[in-house]
C-alpha cells in the first residue's frame, strides 16, 4: 500500500489547506521517497511552508532512517508499532540511536507511548515515569501523548504529569556534554552558521545569560541555536522578510512561529515591521523590547540579567550581550 493514500491527499487538500496546517505527521514512513512525494504534493497545493514529520514505526523505516532524516523536517519515533515490528529488546536502542541522530542533525525528534497506564489510572507506573525522564535526558524534543488523551479517563492529568517529569529531568540534563558531542559531530572547519550559533550558546553560558534572543524569518536560526541545547530559554522573534506582502505576512509568520514550538527550549514570538506596532523603533530595538517584555512577564528575565542577542545582518551573523535594567519599558 502507498504511504500517502488517496484519502490522505483528499484531507490535506481540503481541511489541511483551509486551516493552513503547520505540521503533517507522515505515518509509516519507509523511505526518503515517501517524504519527497508528500513534499511535492504539499507544494502543488500551496502548502510549501508546512513541515513534514516522518513517523518511523517499522523495520523498513529504521533501515532507511538516515535518508529519511535528511529529507524530513523532524522525526516521530512511534514505539507502539516498533514494539510489534521489532523484538522488545531492540526497541530501546532504536529509540536512543534515533534521538542521537536527530540531535546531531539539529532536527526535532518526538517519541510516543510513554504513560499508557494513565489511560485508566490517575498515576503512571514508576517505570513509565523513569522512561519519560530518560527520553528527556537522551535529548528528545517532545513527548506525543496518544491514547492517554484521546480516550483516557485522565487526559489533563496525563499532560500535567508528563510535563512535570520532563521539567524535572531538564534540571539535571547534561548540556555541556551535549554541546561537545554536537561540536565534535559538526567537525572543523565549521560552517559559518554553525560557528556563530555555537559561539552564541558558548557566550551565553560564559556570561550566565538568562536567555538568548534570536531574530529570524523562517525559524531556522532559532533551530540552529537550539541544536546546541543552550541551558537557558531561546526567545525567537519571527520577523517578516523584507519585501514580503504585509497582507500575507501574518498567516505566514504565524506558521513559522508555531513550528518553533516543536523545538526544545524555543519560545516563539511574532515580530512586526509595521510602524503602528513598532512605535517608530528600529527592528532591533523593537525585537529586543518585545522579547524582554515577554521574558519579564513569564519570569524568564529579571532586572540586571544578561541576555544574548543573535541576529543576521546582510550576509553576516552578529552576537551581542546586553544587560537588562530594572525598568519595565
Please say if the pLDDT value at position 248 is more than 90. no
Please say if the pLDDT value at position 251 is more than 80. no
Among 226-240, 243-257, 299-313, the range of highest mean pLDDT: 226-240
User: What Cα–Cα distance (Å) separates residue 159 from each residue in 118, 136, 146?
Assistant: 10, 15, 11
Averaged over 295-311, what is the pLDDT? 92
Strands laid side by side in the 306-313 sheet: 266-270, 234-238, 211-216, 306-313, 316-323
Question: Average model confidence (pLDDT) for the chain?
Answer: 90
Q: How many CB atoms lie within 10 A of CB 191?
A: 10
Burial of residue 2 (CB within 10 Å: 0-12, 13-18, 19+) is exposed
Dist CA 98 CA 74 (whole Å) = 11
DSSP secondary structure letter of residue 240: P
- Partners of 77 in the beta sheet? 56, 111
Instruction: Say which residues have a Cβ less than 8 Å from residue 254's Cβ, sequence separation at least 6.
Output: 270
- The pLDDT > 70 percentage for the chain reads 92
pTM over 0.95: no
Q: What is the pLDDT of residues 75-119, one digit of tens each?
A: 999 988 888 889 989 999 999 999 999 999 999 999 999 999 999
Q: How many CB atoms lie within 10 A of CB 156?
A: 9
Q: Which pLDDT value is given to residue 246?
A: 54
CATH number of the domain located at residue range(s) 175-324 in this protein = 3.40.1380.20
Q: What is the pLDDT of residues 5-23, one digit of tens each?
A: 999 999 999 999 999 899 9
Which of 93-102, 141-150, 180-189, 274-283 is predicted with the least confidence, judged by mean pLDDT?
274-283
Q: Domain 6-172: which CATH class?
A: alpha beta
Q: Which pLDDT value is given to residue 323?
A: 76
Q: Which pLDDT value is given to residue 328?
A: 44
Q: Which pLDDT value is given to residue 245?
A: 58
CATH 3.20.20.60 range(s) for the chain read 6-172
Cα angle vertex 186, ends 72, 93, to 5°? 60
Q: Which pLDDT value is given to residue 324?
A: 77
Burial of residue 229 (CB within 10 Å: 0-12, 13-18, 19+) is buried
Q: Which residue has the cell 529509540?
A: 95
Instruction: Say which residues have a Cβ less than 8 Å from residue 147's Cβ, sequence separation at least 6.
Output: 116, 119
pLDDT confidence band for 151 (50 / 70 / 90): very high
- The pLDDT > 90 percentage for the chain reads 74
Q: Which pLDDT value is given to residue 329?
A: 43
pLDDT confidence band for 279 (50 / 70 / 90): confident
Q: How many CB atoms lie within 10 A of CB 9?
A: 15
CATH 3.40.1380.20 range(s) for the chain read 175-324
Averaged over 280-306, what is the pLDDT? 90
Amino acid at each position: 500500500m502507498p504511504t500517502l493514500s488517496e484519502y490522505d491527499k483528499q484531507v490535506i487538500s481540503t481541511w489541511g489547506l483551509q486551516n493552513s496546517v503547520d505540521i503533517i505527521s507522515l505515518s509509516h514512513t519507509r523511505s526518503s521517497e515517501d517524504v519527497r512525494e508528500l513534499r511535492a504534493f504539499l507544494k502543488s497545493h500551496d502548502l510549501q511552508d508546512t513541515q513534514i514529520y516522518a513517523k518511523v514505526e517499522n523495520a523498513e523505516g529504521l533501515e532507511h532512517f538516515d535518508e529519511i532524516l535528511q529529507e524530513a523536517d523532524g522525526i516521530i519515533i512511534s514505539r507502539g508499532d516498533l514494539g510489534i515490528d521489532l523484538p522488545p529488546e531492540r526497541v530501546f536502542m532504536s529509540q536512543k540511536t534515533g534521538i542521537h541522530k536527530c540531535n546531531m542533525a539539529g532536527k526535532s525528534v518526538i517519541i510516543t507511548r510513554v504513560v499508557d497506564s494513565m489511560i485508566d489510572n490517575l498515576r503512571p507506573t514508576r517505570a513509565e515515569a523513569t522512561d519519560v525522564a530518560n527520553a528527556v535526558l537522551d535529548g528528545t524534543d517532545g513527548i506525543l501523548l496518544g491514547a492517554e488523551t484521546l480516550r483516557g479517563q485522565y487526559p489533563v492529568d496525563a499532560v500535567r504529569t508528563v510535563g512535570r517529569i520532563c521539567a524535572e529531568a531538564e534540571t539535571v540534563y547534561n548540556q555541556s556534554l551535549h554541546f561537545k558531542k554536537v561540536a565534535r559531530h559538526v567537525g572543523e572547519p565549521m560552517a559559518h552558521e554553525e560557528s556563530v550559533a555555537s559561539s552564541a550558546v558558548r557566550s551565553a553560558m560564559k556570561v550566565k545569560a538568562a536567555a538568548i534572543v534570536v531574530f529570524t524569518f523562517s525559524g531556522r536560526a532559532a533551530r540552529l541555536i537550539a541544536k546546541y541545547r543552550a541551558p537557558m530559554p531561546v526567545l525567537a522573534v519571527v520577523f517578516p522578510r523584507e519585501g514580503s506582502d504585509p497582507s500575507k505576512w501574518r498567516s505566514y509568520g504565524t506558521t513559522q512561529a508555531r513550528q518553533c514550538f516543536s523545538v526544545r527550549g524555543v519560545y516563539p514570538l511574532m515580530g512586526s515591521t509595521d510602524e503602528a506596532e513598532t512605535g517608530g523603533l528600529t527592528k532591533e530595538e523593537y525585537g529586543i523590547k518585545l522579547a524582554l517584555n515577554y521574558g519579564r512577564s513569564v519570569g524568564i528575565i529579571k532586572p540586571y540579567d544578561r541576555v544574548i542577542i543573535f541576529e543576521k545582518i546582510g550576509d553576516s551573523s552578529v552576537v551581542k550581550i546586553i544587560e537588562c535594567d530594572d525598568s519595565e519599558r
